[in-house]
Amino acid sequence: MFLVDSSVWIEYLRPKGSRKVKERVRTILQKEEMVSCGIIVVEILRGAKNERDFESLRDSLMSLSQISLDDTVIERASRWGFLLDRKGRVVSTTDLIIASAAYKKARLLHSDRDFDTIASAVDLEQERI
């Protein structure tokens, strides 16, 4: 399974986005190997161009299985943030939550250096594209 970060979705949705990204996302979608989580849905829907795009994107994203942002995910993200901050390696809270949601449940597909930083400190299965 793959959890596709908004950094990849944004590139995928751009009319002139990267062919490599578009092909990778299409392959994952066709194989039905994709999950999502609420925070990624929020990030993508905020950027919708209009109401019609908002509804279409919402329907597509919400049709995917959703990883719950439960207490375990939040506690793990908090712990990782605490540990990384102490090492002077500050990453966004949102990315900590997304990485924690993916942890042991899905490979995180991204194009965001914060996830590289997180993966250098914890056992996060991830793929940078």
| Tens-digit pLDDT profile for residues 74-127 | 999 999 999 999 999 999 999 999 999 999 999 999 999 999 999 999 999 999
**Domain limits, the chain:** 2-128
CB 67 within 8 Å of CB 105: yes
pLDDT in tens, 33-73: 999 999 999 999 999 999 999 999 999 999 999 999 999 99
Contacts of 4 (CB under 8 A, 6+ apart): 12, 25, 28, 34, 36, 40, 109, 110
pLDDT at site 64: 98
pLDDT at site 39: 98
Please name the fold of domain 2-128: Rossmann fold (3.40.50)
pLDDT at site 38: 98
pLDDT at site 119: 98
Considering only CA atoms, which of 82, 74, 87 is closest in space to residue 38?
Answer: 74
The token pair at 85 is 């901050």
pTM of the model: 0.95
pLDDT at site 112: 98
